[in-house]
Structure 1
């Protein structure tokens, strides 16, 4: 396993920071690595703590009388300068558990009320979103949503359109649109599984 020799914080931003990591792997190769992180300081990095703590949540919510639609957002993202289809998501507040964060974030982004399922923890444990360049970790929360869609709770910085996706539209999105990888995998289940949450039982 590689040895990390030093970590230098290069930025001090609210939502993401850049760290310069110097290390040497077990082949003797010396590396200069740059890590993007949600952490505010190098003391909070997983490099330092060894702990995988969820930065945020991604919400897989079914809605409709027959629970035959998935709540998605079509959101503008600066890194790709276009729109991408994603699940509603957001950062966890200090002391907030996954379900609390998911209820809050779904309501803020869509206006809908989220009812999380009580599932085995292995399905909700935080997973790494892009570990080649970031230690960002996201917990997936599953459940049902109802209520009225509105954008009145969205932040001014957000450019989000709420979309209720049935199986036919899910196929079109996967064929024709930019889709976040986590959402793409779940949409594949949604299209083919008669009971979309069967894998949770």
Structure 2
């Protein structure tokens, strides 16, 4: 398993950060009461962009049924390996769709075609202002470039790519959680949505 020897060595208070800052805001509630709220603010959103990043729902078209591309990646805030979908930040002047195609190629090696994009989604609105769009892409497994994958990882990226049948995604999340992995909410929400669709025959 990649990330197998990775672990947090120490944690300490941070007085000045590069990527985020802590903010206290004062607001008035529906009853007219003045209150305060503490939250984290991302400092990397490109000028002129309304989003920070993208999550990528990459579906492999296979004869045995559609499969979703997932990743295992160590995340220091959790001190755990997290099961995630491919994702990344948007570069200046880049659309969500362009970022999704670029990030997917860099992190997994897959070349894909955009199907659709979601509205803007807020990751954890009670804690931070970080947002993203979910970009759905299709991966044609008959293309030669999708046979011999060549990810372009950065020096500090250690990503293990795997895929799971969409029909088995919920069960796989449960299994991976039991093995000690952390499950990113985005992939868990996709899995739950599939199960709800099955239950209510949508």
Please tell me the TM-score bracket, short chain as reference.
Answer: 0.7 to 0.9
Structure 1 residues 19 and 52: alpha-carbon distance in aligned structure 2, compared to 1, 3 A threshold: farther
What stretches of structure 2 of length at least 5 have no aligned partner? 1-14
| Alignment partner of 1:55 out of 25, 42, 52 | 52
Q: TM-score, normalised by structure 2?
A: 0.72
Q: Does 1:149 align with 2:146?
A: no
**1:95 is matched with which residue?**
93
The whole-number CA distance in structure 2 between the counterparts of 1:107 and 1:85 is 18
**1:113 is matched with which residue?**
111
The whole-number CA distance in structure 2 between the counterparts of 1:141 and 1:109 is 15
The whole-number CA distance in structure 2 between the counterparts of 1:88 and 1:25 is 38
What stretches of structure 1 of length at least 5 have no aligned partner? 1-9, 45-50
Instruction: Say how many residue pairs are matched.
Output: 172
The more displaced of 72-81 and 165-174 is 165-174
Structure 1 residues 156 and 172: alpha-carbon distance in aligned structure 2, compared to 1, 3 A threshold: farther
Deviation of 1:187 after TM superposition, in Å, equals 2.4
Deviation of 1:115 after TM superposition, in Å, equals 1.0
Describe the superposition over 1:101-155 as per-residue Cα deviations: whole angstroms up to 9, x where unpaired.
00011111111112111x4xxx52211010011111110100112514344x112
Q: TM-score, normalised by structure 1?
A: 0.73
The whole-number CA distance in structure 2 between the counterparts of 1:28 and 1:167 is 48
**2:121 is matched with which residue?**
127
Q: Indicate conservation of the 8 Å contact 1:19/1:34, yes or no.
A: yes
Structure 1 residues 175 and 40: alpha-carbon distance in aligned structure 2, compared to 1, 3 A threshold: closer
